[in-house]
A and B are shown apart, each in its own frame.
Chain A
Amino acid sequence: MSQQKASEALLSLKHISVEFDGFKAVNDVTTSIAPHEIHFFIGPNGAGKTTLLDVICGKTKPAGGEAYYAGVGNILKLKEFEIVKKGICRKFQVPSTFINLSVYDNMRIAINRDKSVFGSLMMRKRYLDTKKIYEVLHLVGLDKKSKERAKALSHGEKQWLEIAMLLVEEPKLLLLDEPVAGMGQPETEKTARILEEIKDRCSVAVVEHDMNFVKSIADEVTVMHEGAILTEGSAEDVMKNEKVQEVYLGRGEKKHA
């Protein structure tokens, strides 16, 4: 990662460390995410990828480190909803939509601009909002199902609904945790297409295991292992890296234990 790139980065993480009961889940991680790139975080289980996303979106407070977000500064002190308002949206591994509301209502809640109590007391339908909701729903292929309750959707559809909910918020940075987990090949390809399309609007940070998925759309890949960064670079470079192969083939254990 060159110095120049770090300076124009959308988000740069510096020396992030996270501890859980003495166990270091993330250990001194420094990396950055550039505007309009799809940035993958890969690595074996327990490498600290999800925890890193947790730190960025405010769910987990790190033991140390800083996260500079372009135009805002250090975001680690902010609460989750404040971080969302700054344009960083997060999708969780398990689809989490509001199951008792319709797809449309889920989107309405996400698109609502004034998220204060009194704003929502006065919340009404705006023509442009509705248009935008259907536009985004069309993008993820859910426009026909807008009136169904979210709990009636399939697993893949819930994932897309959640992505759609994030998209209508017009984020600058989208954090996705294993968006294709539990999806079949056609669904995975569709998700890849969706991600390619939204790249124009924002940066995307993705945690993923599926290497084919990574190869197909990654701009930048960060490989993590046991809480630390192993290597960074393009998908091809990373795959060629010996250390990465060791880790993925399981020979690296002794070295890093």
Chain B
Amino acid sequence: MDILTILFNGLSLSSILLLAALGLAITFGLMGIINMAHGEFIMVGAYTTYVVQGILMPALGDGYFFCSILLSFLAAAAFGMLLEVTVIRRLYGRPTDSLLATWGVSLVLQQLARSIFGAPNVNVVAPSFLGGSLTLLGVSMSYKRLFIIGLVLLCLLAVWAFLYHTNFGRKTRACIQNRDMAQCLGIRSKRIDCLTFALGSGLAGIAGCALTLLGSIGPTLGQNYIVDTFMVVVLGGVGKLIGSISGALIIGIASTVFEVGSTASIAKAAVLFLVILFLQKKPQGLFALRSRSLD
């Protein structure tokens, strides 16, 4: 394989990781909640796409896919909102407890998917316009992967614009930085928390929708991504979007490079050990906020 192909594959993997981790960068990175059910929200998004395809494809043809992106987002966001209101709301400030509780939720969601859709994997037919591939400088780039890279950029732009250029985003950041003060200023912090969590979950839904382009989907789809996505956020440093972006790029490209000359599983394990080694040097991740607050 030539270098450009490796680079493109790495970039493609990075984009998938980033898409899966973007929601986590919000719920874990900004809100500090360890949502182990994040992977299952990805799964919810994927199955939503599957259902939407079944209903809308006959009527809309390939156009169904754009509807399914939106609906995947909404479905996962709805699940996220439900989880926030029933469980997570009671566990702010108890990170390890929230970790255990959301793990339980993830088990329930997996079984739910199994009960509804059956244990075997199902396939989603990718829209025909994403079928081919583009060859540039001798690198064959499939439209599906290009589409995912584009989708990630779009999501990033949307999240950035939302957090930094809307009133709601401003309130969100205010709540994250100083909840008590925000409440004193009349911000309904509970509602903000709920909506922010829903946003993070919804992004996982979009990731799930995108993953249907790459392969079949099953109840344990999310499990494959949960470790990777957490590593992306931890490597990048909690609290900054730019950290997650670089974390995804590093892990994605490193995995692809290591895969040359070894197997995928060895490459993944190697990358993981490298990340652990790296955290020795910088326990706070790539982009750490150095501040006066303890812990």
Contacts and interface: CB of A to CB of B under 8 A. Distances in A.
B284 to A, nearest CB: 13
Nearest to B289: A21
Contacts of A21: 289-291
B90 interface: no
A127 interface: no
Interface residues of A, number: 4
Interface in B252-295: 289-292
Sort chain B's interface into a size bin. under 10
A20 B294 CA distance: 13
A165 B172 CA distance: 42
A20 B288 CA distance: 12
A25 B290 CA distance: 12
Contacts of A20: 290-292
Interface in B125-143: none
A51 interface: yes
A54 to B, nearest CB: 9
Contacts of A51: 292
Nearest to A54: B292
Contacts of B291: 20-21
Nearest to A25: B292
A179 to B, nearest CB: 18
Interface string A12-45: 0000000011000100000000000000000000
Interface centre among B289, B290, B291, B292 (most CB of A within 10 A): B292
A25 B291 CA distance: 11
Contacts of B290: 20-21
Given A20-B292, A51-B292, 6 more contacts: A20-B290, A20-B291, A21-B289, A21-B290, A21-B291, A25-B292
A-B pairs, top 4 by smallest CB distance, nearest first, are: A21-B290, A20-B290, A20-B292, A20-B291
Interface of B: 289-292
8 contacts: A20-B290, A20-B291, A20-B292, A21-B289, A21-B290, A21-B291, A25-B292, A51-B292
